[in-house]
Amino acid sequence: MKRLATYLALLCIGLAVGHSAADTPDGHVLEQARVGMGDLLRQFWTGDETTGHIVNTWHGYTNSLPDSRGALWERATLFLTLDNASRALGDPSFSRRMRADWRRTQALYTPDQLEACGAESGTNWAVDDAGWSALMLLAAHRATGDRAALERARGLVNNAFNRWLDDQLGGGMWYRDDHSAKSLYQVAIVLAALRLWELTGARACHDRALACYQWMEAHLLRPDGLYWGEYDRSGPVGKERPNDIREGGSVVFLGGNMAMGVLHARLYRLTGDDSFRVRAIRTAEAIRLRLVTDKGIYLNDRDAWSNGVFAGDWAREVLTLSGIDGKQAAVLRATADSIFRNARTADGFYGGSWSGPAEGAASRWFAGNSKPQQIMTSANSVNMVVAAASLVERLKRKGDP
């Protein structure tokens, strides 16, 4: 009853005219994140917190599964939100759920299946799918300490590099097996590889991660400080329409730009080279100037199924850097508040149109078939809400990522 009363109070506060997210008390931010996680788990978790698991989904839904185990990358979107919540809210139940889901995954997949990627993998068809799965395996290792999770992550990352990294177009990773374009989505594999180097000392992971990083800096960085989403044999895809940046379709990618900011910040932390910090600030400012709406919130531009994946790392590692303007934190908090107030359905799903509405023809994402009822859409939106809580907590304690 206490939680229900708190939730109703939050709704009343959120509906108040003239509410300012930038002035929202920290406790309000944290409670929004807790309610969001409660919604997410009610909709997409089955069983209790120690023996249950994330529901099995395909195209985001639990019905008509071609593989009864579901799609790995889809469950990764919720698993990574659990990881963010565990680190932001200090609630051990989130880690218990991560451990339970990892046990389920280990029981249902062989090591070779977890490390597979490409057209015949059955789940990690493209570089982004493999990236989300690799990050999930690393999060499972963080939660459990299980060396097997670490080894599966290393196997998947190495297989992704072996399959999609080559010298064509100057380097970088192909998006999928058809070799039609290289992509900013490779940044997930790059971040996973860099983390593997930190944890294991695997020099090949470091070297290939840095090679891809340098390729993205050379080929995807735009004059405005953002990064193009794709690059093919004719150059950046969409170069003739560089300002085509909108909800439901864009030549750039908010999630990938946040991930590049995280990559800069991480390289700064690992090397002490201040040029990386400067690049992270450049990326943050470009996002604030080009990927923030007139309502002061992030634009969910290209991909409602992955634009929130890196929000927690963005909050912890970029928005706490020396030299970051306080306006950056205000945008994140405003986005989280808007998602909670405007993009939540009556039964606790979260849409991709972060200024609302959650459903219906007026939502470009809903009309474009990214529905709140899909695990990826809800998980990414809630992850942005949890990221605001993560920033609150990180600014309190100023610990390491």
pLDDT tens by residue, 132-173: 999 999 999 999 999 999 999 999 999 999 999 999 999 999
E-assigned strand segments in 115-159: none
Per-residue pLDDT tens digits for 268-317:
999 999 999 999 999 999 999 999 999 999 999 999 999 999 999 999 99
Burial readout 86-125 (b: 16 or more C-beta within 10 A, e: otherwise): bbbbeeebbbbbbbbbbbbbbeebeeebbbbbbeebebbb
DSSP H helix total and E strand total for the chain: 15, 7
E-assigned strand segments in 247-337: 249-250
Question: pLDDT value at position 23?
Answer: 57
pLDDT band at 24 (very low <50, low <70, confident <90, very high): low
pLDDT band at 107 (very low <50, low <70, confident <90, very high): very high
- Tell whether the model's pLDDT for residue 2 goes beyond 90: no
- Prediction pTM value: 0.93
Q: What is the CATH number of domain 2-108+220-397?
A: 1.50.10
- Tell whether the model's pLDDT for residue 42 goes beyond 50: yes
- Tell whether the model's pLDDT for residue 208 goes beyond 50: yes
Per-residue pLDDT tens digits for 45-91:
999 999 999 999 999 999 999 999 999 999 999 999 999 999 999 99
Residue identified by tokens 């099995």 is 56
Classified as helix, coil or strand, 235 is: strand
Per-residue pLDDT tens digits for 378-392:
999 999 999 999 999
Question: pLDDT value at position 21?
Answer: 52
- Tell whether the model's pLDDT for residue 400 goes beyond 70: no
